[in-house]
Amino acid sequence: MANKWVYLFTEGNATMRNLLGGKGANLAEMTNLGLPVPQGFTITTEACTQYYEDGQKINDEIMGQIMDHINKMEEITGKKFGDKENPLLVSVRSGARASMPGMMDTILNLGLNEEVVEVLAEKSGNPRWAYDCYRRFIQMFSDVVMEVGKKYFEALIDEMKKDKGVKQDVELTAEDLKELANQFKAEYKAKIGEEFPSDPKVQLVEAIKAVFRSWDNPRANVYRRDNDIPYSWGTAVNVQMMAFGNMGDTSGTGVAFTRDPATGEKKLMGEFLMNAQGEDVVAGVRTPQHIDQLKQVMPEVYDEFVDICHKLEDHYRDMQDMEFTIENRKLYMLQTRNGKRTAFAALKIACDLVDEGMIDEAKAVSMIEPRNLDTLLHPTFDPEALKKATPIGKGLAASPGAASGQIVFTAEEAKEWADAGKKVVLVRLETSPEDIEGMKASQGILTVRGGMTSHAAVVARGMGTCCVSGVSEIVMDEENKQFELGGKTFHEGDVISFDGTTGNIYDGAIATREAQIAGEFGRIMSWADKYRRLKVRTNADTPADAKKARELGAEGIGLCRTEHMFFEGERIDAFREMICSDTVEDREKALEKILPVQQGDFEKLYEALEGNPVTIRFLDPPLHEFVPTEEAEIEKLAHTQGKSVAQIKAIIASLHEFNPMMGHRGLRLAVTYPEIAVMQTKAVIRAAINVAKVHPDWNLKPEIMIPLSSDAKELKFVKDIVVKTADEEIARAGSDIKYEVGTMIEIPRACLTADEIAKEAEFFCFGTNDLTQMTFGFSRDDAGKFLNAYYDKKIFENDPFAKLDQVGVGKLMKMAIELGKKARPELHVGICGEHGGDPSSVEFCHKIGLDYVSCSPFRVPIARLAAAQAAIAEKRN
Ligand code: PEP
Ligand code: MG
């Protein structure tokens, strides 16, 4: 039997999301629920994938089924494409499995042409509406299908409004709009060199292809990479009979959320515009009315809508984001989906749904996007500093957080300035999808136009970036890169601050304050902790980081990079003396200076961890990061070493490596200079003995971690030094302190010989930064220079240094665990590369049976949640 590529809304349901996309599956589900949905059909995500497999062509089988469904749709609606009596007009919209707001394209009013529009104008008795539809269609079709670009059309509209002396699009008459439609078509012909297509079927096929193509547009590719959406999913296409919100004052369109997407509060939130079509609300061209006002404008429609909202929320047991249209007082539902929300709102909604008895705790934990927690961990304004500041203006609190930075007016500049290390805030009339990269680079986004569902608001919330929208008091002069607000003119580079939680805007910088886990955040995290099996540790090199991580729930230190303890001040001098010594005596002298400093640091770390495990990794400095480069520093070093500048330079030259990342680092350093391992062992053990005296109940058991081993004999050599030194220290102090010696697994050979290595190691910790580097042979410092080409060419979908390569690197990890545990069943295993804080990598670590993940302090809650989700999903399956 032939494949089924196309489904009527009556043939689908909510479980068919993978095939029909989120929008298509939910349109079908709403149809099944008996809600007023304009009928239509969905072309599957598989058809999209097939389209690409066929070399960007819709094959005959798929085309045949599309045509069949047009016929079926004509039967169902009693309307016909291109018909003079009763023409069928449709919308064509994308809909992927995961919602990607604003990333792909929509075309409305498809099916119009010169003849049809005339019939429509006459028969409806509403020529203004007919020509409004027509000019919109030409505009959208040209932009989306032919990529002519919106700005040409917008310029024509602006010119027309200026000519007619009106401010709003709705003030243009039927005649004006008819004239605009003509101008648009002329523009189309000028740009494309062909007449605007008049056959509705041709229009439809072109539109479907355009939606398929939009799956691969640059902004969709960036969005997917940021949100872990595989390219292979493809998008479905929904073809739906039009419901018209632009028929006059008894028609309108809007979007609404069943709960506040910014705060999570249980109240209907949304916006609508009378006499308007879909994109008007979100495009921010006119400022919409609050949904509550619909109660006055059209009470019976409002009641019906509220009723549907309840029905949908009860049905999906989650906050819904809906689009609707009112055509001549009749309500139509165009979309529903689980709404995007701020992290703050996500926590509140999940807790409220539990309290309302709608979902259980496991479901609540699974509902939160781990990555989004990040936004809650970012600073807010310091309340004291805020009290002293006077707002100079106010907009809509579109996405919470605190932003302070230099003003830029374009997305390109935002990116450039941010790349140059500046903190910027992007101030725009309104944003559009092309601005994504610049929005990402900004501390916050401020827009003059648009409501809570404007592009800026929706996208900023998704990114977790602070946003204040709809600041209509701003008098904007984008061309001259300045604006007026609160009686003052602000220029590019001036500093302002704004608060995405209140909407307030302030002149100048305001101090910010760290976030903390409390309230709903605390509740969800405590639930998460009940479900997870993986322990979560942190990578921390300073007592301050360790303390922060503890507050955020870290259960130990999984990686303390001891070389990082020497970056600052006078410490680096001693470190340089050590590296640039050319005799054991000189080196030991330098190590004598380092020992008490290290010991003091370790004592503070143990104190901060209050008896939880502390893994201290021995020195692993790529030497080039530490040798002096400045003349004055070289002179200083020569002076303390009692050497000439030339001698020091000769030592530095001898330390030069062509490939320092594969050079004299890790345990290789301890093989050549065992005295370094001796000093570090002394520091670790002496510190533990001292702290154990004060806190005997903590049962301190430091974990000494030897980096970069690739061979069992090599590891044994260093381990023996460690054990001998540690045992001597312990015996001398008459202490009974215990310790462990383990190794990082970060070289493929270590994975391949893990059974041998495990005989010398009590624990393994995967250093997946190096393991990724060594497995791919990509330098972790330079891969960024060419990875973009890999994304563009669809060779990679993600950065393997950020998201674990489960296929290759993951296979090595599995092998290492299996071999390691065979040789030493009690071996405990963790990960401390960057991947330890990446949700999908954490899930993988759970699956392959790691004991813990270790990540930077601010990612600890993300890892805790991801670990819980992995455990819950496993149980469910
Ligand atoms: C690693 O390689 O993954 C690791 C944690 O060590 P570093 O990043 O310090 O090389
Ligand atoms: Mg490493």
DSSP characters for 182-221? Answer: HHHHHHHHHHHSSPPP--HHHHHHHHHHHHHHHTTSHHHH
Tell me which ligand sits closest to the C-alpha of residue 801: 1
Q: What pLDDT score was predicted for residue 744? A: 98
Question: What CA–CA distance (Å, rounded) separates 201 from 185?
Answer: 18
Helix 45-53 to helix 60-77 angle (10° resolution) is 150
Instruction: Answer whether 764's CB lies under 8 Å from 745's CB.
Output: yes
Tell the residue number behind the tokens 């007919």, with chain if given. 130
Q: From CA 85, how far away is CA 88, in angstroms rounded? A: 10
Q: What angle do CA 34, 257, 279 make, to 5 degrees?
A: 90
- Cα-only R_g, the chain: 32
Cα 560 to ligand 1 centre (Å): 10
Backbone φ/ψ region at 109: left (φ over 0), alpha (ψ -120 to 50), beta: left
- Nearest atom within ligand 1 for CA of residue 833: 3
Backbone angles phi, psi at 406, to 5 degrees: -80, 140
Strand partners, 380: 513
Say if residue 768 carries a ligand binding annotation: yes
CATH classification for the domain delimited by 379-513, as one of 3.50.20.10, 3.50.30.10, 3.30.1360.120, 3.40.640.10: 3.50.30.10
- Which residues make Cβ contacts (< 8 Å) with residue 674, sequence separation at least 6? 718, 721
- The protein residue with its alpha carbon nearest to ligand 1, atom 4, reads 767
At residue 847, φ and ψ (nearest 5 deg) are -65, -35
Q: Is 746 in the pocket of ligand 1 (CB under 6 A)?
A: yes
Tell me the pLDDT tens digit for each residue of 717-758.
999 999 999 999 999 999 999 999 999 999 999 999 999 999
pLDDT of residue 512: 80
Which candidate, 851, 355, 293, 796, places its Cα nearest to that of 556? 851
315 touches ligand 1 (CB under 6 Å) = no
The count of residues in the chain is 877
The Cα angle at residue 305 between residues 301 and 309, in degrees rounded to 5: 175
Alpha helices per DSSP H over 560-711: 571-579, 584-609, 631-641, 645-655, 667-672, 674-694
Nearest to 120 by CA among 153, 90, 88, 78: 88
> What pTM was computed for the model?
0.83
The closest alpha carbon to 728, from 670, 681, 673, belongs to 681
Q: Where are the domains of the chain?
A: 246-341, 379-513, 532-570+602-620+666-876
Ligand that comes closest to the CA of residue 617: 1
Instruction: Give nearest CA residue, ligand 1 atom 6.
Output: 767
Q: What is the DSSP string of 428-454?
A: ESS--GGGHHHHHHSSEEEESS--TTS
Helices 200-214 and 45-53: crossing angle, nearest 10°?
Answer: 80
Dist CA 586 CA 373 (whole Å): 49
Any atom of ligand 1 within 6 Å of the Cβ of 833: yes
Question: Exposed, middle or buried: residue 167 (CB in 10 Å: 0-12, 13-18, 19+)?
Answer: exposed
How many Å apart are CA 17 and CA 19, to the nearest integer?
5
Catalytic: 455?
A: yes
Which 3 state secondary structure label does DSSP give 519?
Answer: helix
Q: What pLDDT is stored for residue 372 in this prediction?
A: 83
- Given a contact cutoff of 8 angstroms between Cβ atoms, the answer to whether 710 and 761 are in contact is no
| Distance between first and last Cα of the chain | 31
Structural fold of domain 532-570+602-620+666-876? TIM Barrel (3.20.20)
What 3 state SS string does 46-90 have? HHHHHHHHCCCCCCHHHHHHHHHHHHHHHHHHCCECCCCCCECCE
Asked if 593 contacts 570 with a C-beta cutoff of 8 angstroms, the reply is no
User: What pLDDT was estimated at residue 576?
Assistant: 87
Residue among 665, 669, 708, 744 whose CB has most ligand 1 atoms within 8 A, to mutate: 744
The rounded distance, in Å, linking the Cα atoms of 522 and 348 is: 11
Ligand 1 atom, smallest distance to 561 CA? 9
B/e letters for 527-552, b = 16+ CB within 10 Å, e = fewer, are bbbebbebbbbbbbbbbebbbbbbeb
**Which homologous superfamily is 246-341 in?**
ATP-grasp fold, B domain (3.30.470.20)
Q: How far is the CA of 573 from the centre of ligand 1 (A)?
A: 24
In short, whether 805's Cβ falls inside 6 Å of ligand 1 is: no
Phi first, then psi: give them for residue 669, nearest 5 degrees.
-65, -40
- Report d(CA 217, CA 236) in Å as an integer: 15
Q: CA triplet 862, 867, 870: central angle to 5 degrees?
A: 125
Return the biggest CA–CA distance within the chain.
103
Ligand 1 within 6 A of 622 CB? no
Amino acid at 407: I
Q: How far is the CA of 770 from the centre of ligand 1 (A)?
A: 6
Across the chain, which has 877 residues, the per-10-residue mean pLDDT values are 91 97 97 97 97 96 96 93 90 90 80 93 90 92 81 86 87 92 91 91 94 88 84 95 91 95 91 86 74 96 97 97 95 95 91 97 96 78 85 87 94 94 93 82 90 73 79 91 95 95 92 77 96 96 87 95 76 84 87 92 96 96 77 88 90 86 92 94 98 96 98 98 98 97 98 98 97 93 83 89 95 98 98 93 98 91 97 94
Assign 151 to helix, strand or coil. helix
Pairing assessment for the beta strands 320-327 and 424-428 based on DSSP bridges:
unpaired
Q: How many CB atoms lie within 10 A of CB 753?
A: 18
620 lines ligand 1 (CB under 6 A): yes
CA 394 from centre of chain: 27
Q: Degrees (nearest 5) of the Cα angle 791, 421, 551? A: 85
- The answer to whether 681 touches 594, Cβ cutoff 8 Å, is no
Joined together, the tokens standing for residue 656 give 């030069």
In this chain, the answer to whether the domains covering 246-341 and 379-513 adopt an identical fold is no
Determine the Cα–Cα distance for residues 642 and 11; give it in Å rounded to an integer. Answer: 86
Answer yes or no: is the C-beta of 836 below 6 A from any ligand 1 atom.
no
| C-beta separation of 747 from 709 below 8 A | yes
Phi and psi at residue 65, to the nearest 5°: -70, -35
**Which atom of ligand 1 approaches the CA of 832 most closely?**
5
Cα distances from 850 to residues 380, 555, 844, 864, in angstroms, run 35, 15, 9, 14
Residues near 458 by Cβ (< 8 Å), separated by ≥ 6? 101, 102, 282, 340
How far is the C-alpha of 405 from the C-alpha of 444, rounded, in Å? Answer: 8
In whole angstroms, give the CA distance from residue 543 to residue 384.
27
Concatenating the DSSP letter of every residue in 334-400 gives EEEEEPP--HHHHHHHHHHHHHTTSS-HHHHHHHS-GGGHHHHTS-EE-HHHHHH--EEEE-EEEE-
Mutation pick for ligand 1 pocket among 770, 779, 841 (CB with most ligand atoms within 8 Å): 770
CA dihedral 135, 140, 142, 147 (to 10 degrees): 150
Segment holding 7, helix H or strand E? strand 6-8
DSSP 101: T
Q: Name beta bridge partners: 269.
A: 257
According to DSSP, residue 4 is labeled -
Q: Is 832 labeled as catalytic in the residue annotation?
A: yes
Q: For residue 501, which phi and psi values (nearest 5 degrees)?
A: -95, -25
Q: In 3D, which of 703, 717, 714, 723 has the Cα closest to residue 747?
A: 714
Question: What spacing in Å lies between the alpha carbon of 407 and ligand 1's midpoint?
Answer: 37
Query: pLDDT at position 283, please?
Result: 61
